[in-house]
Amino acid sequence: MKIEDLVRRDAEKLTPENLEEYRRAWAKALGRMPKNSEIWPFIGDEEIKELYKTRSVRTESGVAPFAVMMKPYYCPGNCVYCPLEAGMPKSYLSDEPAAQRAKKLKFDPYLQVEMRLKQLEETGHITNKIDLIVIGGTFSAYPDEYKLEFFKGMFDGVNGFVAKNLEEAQQFNETGPRRIVGISVETRPDWVTEAEIILWRKMGVTKVQLGIQAFDEQILQKINRGHSLAEVAGSTRLCRNAGIKICYHFMPNLPGSTPEKDIEMAKIMFTDPRFQPDYLKVYPAVVIEGTELFQMWKRGEYESYSYEDLKNVLKEVKKNTPRWCRIDRLVRDISKQWVSSGTLRTNLRQLLQEELKKEGKKCECIRCREVRAGVYDTKVQLMIDERETGGGKEIFLSFEADGKLFSMLRLRLPEAGERMLFKELRDAAIIREVHTYGQVREIDKELKEPRTKELETEKKQDKSQHQGLGKRLMIEAERIARDRGYRKMAVISAIGTREYYKKLGYELEGEYMVKNDWYN
């Protein structure tokens, strides 16, 4: 008997309480334990279905994110800690999940996207809001022709057909059944140029990951990073003025640093107006054979922190993370076969959360406050956080209740006379991000369903997505910009979110959605 037949046979008798009992019975009939992905498609009850969804956290931030890897290519860096495995982009190892998938598929972007979408759907995830993370060495160092070809392949994979060119693929994606709501690339701050940012926007990039690693000139020199803090500040300002979201990579336990120095650098990163990332990935240094850091370790010139020292550093990083920043990663998941020295614990985030809770403290980062699968709270309050950054003000608007974040918006108010790369951004306030958290829901689902009292009640009390929170934040951001004398509003829209902004009165100008009718 097939698992489909077994589940359908017992469907009416299933409850959340007897799930495992039936699972064991099915295993006995099959001669093996069935996977969640095999069971999920044949369950009708939504509550039980949710319990069988594999890693529901993957889509509880409001989108379905996944990585797509570019082929191995020259990297301009010569950092002491960075591994280089044959047949892989520099810094990536072949047993990491995204790398395994990419290598198996010969780094074909279409096939990588196609396989990942299939995996997500088979495990119960809605995949119509896609957040693509492009990884593999230094993106800016790849030839432009290859970058454009790779992006077309990703769009084709999401769309499900091969378009004539990137422009056709993007045009279809604006209204397609699956839409790309964000794309990030990763590069070095010294490779961020005006020409590169113009190309990013043409391709639909909305976020950049910058490998910074340290906020100390001597440490940057010691690790052969090849750039200074001036380039970090310059690239950050360029990206902000283009509306691009910024994620920093920060690496504690580098040669020349100490736990105290790492904590000091984290404070500089968050408080210095030249920096202040929107997102953060913390990758404590580990010693990998074949790197210069391995030789330094063998010679006794470098020593990894003890577990307690590293834990205390990461705890202080979390304590100092402001409410407008999201910690995307706290430790890189590298298998122990590669690590000669350094932490092997991949659950440090969870351990730190538990310790902070015992101390009566908590991390205020966006990820730790996201509502995720929580129920929508009608008592959400508008909160506004304003700060000075290089080249202008940043305003973080959010709807929150009882310490939970339901929706947020990043508004940039450039200084008068600030040079803008794109003519459509001149004299404009810039919305750099709008995001409503909670389990992914289908695009425009509420427009497809009958408007009944029961539905209205569900809409008010159930999921946080599609409650109009993003629209309310947009209205507030527009009010602030008008009051400050800005002549128009521009939004850095992903290709797949353009329709949303059109409904709010925005029109496409160049690579941005723009509203000019302030005083009508």
pLDDT of residue 453: 35
- Alpha-carbon distances of 515 from 350, 474, 520, rounded to whole Å: 43, 12, 11
What are 176-190's pLDDT values in tens digits?
Answer: 999 999 999 999 999
- Alpha-carbon distances of 360 from 105, 322, 347, 351, 395, rounded to whole Å: 48, 18, 20, 14, 29
Cα atoms in the 13 Å half-sphere on the side-chain side of 348: 24
Greater pLDDT, 519 or 112: 112
Strand pairing category for 326-329 and 279-282 = parallel
Q: How far apart are CA 222 and CA 81, in angstroms?
A: 11
pLDDT of residue 53: 56
Mean pLDDT of the region 287-312: 97
Question: Does residue 496 sit in helix, strand or coil?
Answer: helix
pLDDT of residue 379: 87
Strand pairing category for 507-509 and 381-389 = unpaired
The DSSP secondary-structure symbol of 233 reads: H
Most confident of 312-321, 352-361, 367-376: 312-321
Q: What are phi and psi of 439, to 5 degrees?
A: -60, 135
| Rg of the Cα atoms in the chain | 24
Mean pLDDT of the region 333-362: 89
Mean pLDDT of the region 312-321: 97
Q: Which residues pair with 250 in a beta bridge?
A: 213, 282
> Could you identify the residue written with the tokens 């202040």?
276
Write out the two tokens for 437: 């958290």
Greater pLDDT, 14 or 61: 14
- Alpha-carbon distances of 502 from 313, 476, 505, rounded to whole Å: 45, 17, 5
Burial class (CB in 10 A: 0-12, 13-18, 19+), 397: buried
What are 460-516's pLDDT values in tens digits?
Answer: 445 555 579 999 999 999 999 999 999 999 999 999 999 999 999 999 999 999 999
**For residues 218 and 255, is the Cβ–Cβ distance under 8 A?**
no
What are 344-354's pLDDT values in tens digits?
Answer: 887 888 889 99
Write out the two tokens for 3: 């698992």
Nearest 5 degrees, angle CA 74-CA 75-CA 80? 135
pLDDT of residue 503: 96
- Alpha-carbon distances of 234 from 154, 171, 446, rounded to whole Å: 30, 33, 43
47-51, 289-293, 425-429: least confident range: 47-51
What are 239-278's pLDDT values in tens digits?
Answer: 999 999 999 999 999 999 999 999 999 999 999 999 999 9
Q: How far apart are CA 377 and CA 462, in angstroms?
A: 8
pLDDT of residue 32: 83
HEC readout, 346-388: CCHHHHHHHHHHHCCCCCCCHHHHECCCCCCCCCCEEEEEEEE
Question: Does residue 293 sit in helix, strand or coil?
Answer: helix
Q: Which of 501, 494, 474 is nearest to 245 (CA)?
A: 494
Q: Which of 78, 81, 75, 93 is nearest to 295 (CA)?
A: 81
What are 446-458's pLDDT values in tens digits?
Answer: 334 333 333 333 3
Q: Which of 272, 199, 214, 274 is nearest to 240 (CA)?
A: 274
Mean pLDDT of the region 275-284: 98
**For residues 328 and 367, is the Cβ–Cβ distance under 8 A?**
yes
pLDDT of residue 459: 43
Domain ranges of the chain: 3-52, 59-205, 211-367, 381-515
Q: What are phi and psi of 115, to 5 degrees?
A: -65, -40
Greater pLDDT, 336 or 346: 336
HEC readout, 24-76: HHHHHHHCCCCCHHHHHHHCCCHHHHHHHCCCHHHHCCCCEEEEEECCCCCCC
Name the average pLDDT for the chain. Answer: 89
User: Percent of the chain having pLDDT more than 70?
Assistant: 88
pLDDT of residue 214: 98
pLDDT at 116 over 50: yes
CATH of 381-515, one of 3.20.20.60, 1.10.150.670, 3.40.630.30, 3.30.43.10: 3.40.630.30
What are 421-475's pLDDT values in tens digits?
Answer: 999 999 999 999 999 987 666 665 433 433 333 333 334 445 555 579 999 999 9
Question: Does residue 104 sit in helix, strand or coil?
Answer: helix
Greater pLDDT, 438 or 331: 331
pLDDT at 50 over 80: no
